[in-house]
Amino acid sequence: MRIVLLGAPGAGKGTQAKMLIEKYQIPQISTGDILRKAVADGTPLGKEAKVIMDKGELVPDKIVLGLVDERVKQDDCKKGFILDGFPRNTVQAEALDKLLNDIKMPLDSALSVDVPRDDLMKRLTGRRTCKSCQQMYNVYYSPPKKEGACDKCGGELFQRDDDKEETIKKRLDVYDAQTAPLIDYYNKKGIVKSVLGKGSIDEIFKQVCNILEGK
Ligand code: AMP
């Protein structure tokens, strides 16, 4: 199963990806996570990326393409993978097609998780992550029992620098202008499947699995 997850920031792609990994035992490739790790590790790439990420803009295609190229060629991707947050524009989508055709592993599905914009704002501004175990919370929808602390491990919760209101607006605008057109791009290839990303996470996941399995 080789899938691209499409959907605006905050649509719940990461959450669904984590559940898909468990169920289908295939890796998630999140370019956002890879970049955030490079930022946390303080690598030259991370330093370059942080400035761009904090503004809510896209990191240059060449950088993310290099990261994805390297990642999909690793052994654990032979049985499939879930691309989350990549591709973000047509240049990346075309490069991905070429890369996957070259290694004879074309995409099966482009799954679009659709959520109205008002909901996205609340989801993103309310998002908090545990510094220790990466467990996610939302101060509006799924707050931790004790403010600022992780229910699971007691770790400190933080807000991503790019989840501040101004940056979020910018990220959503970038999504509308550059990433949303990819739904059309994959539609032309006949591989788009859509799910409404509202309601309980488990219910959405059930629909996602049914759609992917062609039920
Ligand atoms: P995400 O967690 O996927 O929302 O990504 C966070 C930030 O990382 C984005 O706002 C971009 O600055 C950068 N980023 C992640 N994936 C990509 C990509 N495929 N192309 C360019 N920039 C990306």
Q: What pLDDT is recorded for position 161?
A: 84
Residues 54, 159 contacting (CB under 8 angstroms): no
Which residue has its alpha carbon closest to ligand 1 atom 19?
Answer: 86
How many whole angstroms separate alpha carbon 66 and alpha carbon 94?
Answer: 14
Q: How far is the CA of 184 from the centre of ligand 1 (A)?
A: 20
Q: What pLDDT is recorded for position 175?
A: 95
The per-residue pLDDT string of the chain (215 residues; one tens digit each, 9 = 90 and over) reads 999 999 999 999 988 999 999 999 999 999 999 999 999 999 999 999 999 999 999 999 999 999 999 999 999 999 999 999 999 999 999 999 999 999 999 999 999 999 998 899 988 999 999 999 999 999 998 999 999 999 999 999 999 888 888 899 999 999 999 999 999 999 999 999 999 999 899 999 999 999 999 87
User: Distances in Å between the alpha carbon of 197 and those of 1, 17, 88, 121?
Assistant: 21, 13, 19, 14
Q: Label residues 127-160 b or e (16+ Cβ within 10 Å = b).
A: bbbbeeeeeebbbeeeebeeeeebeeeebebeeb
Mutate to test the pocket of ligand 1, among 4, 18, 35, 124 (most ligand atoms within 8 A of CB): 35
Domains of the chain are 2-26+79-212 (3.40.50.300)
Q: What pLDDT is recorded for position 214?
A: 85
Q: How far is the CA of 116 from the centre of ligand 1 (A)?
A: 20
Q: How far is the CA of 146 from the centre of ligand 1 (A)?
A: 30
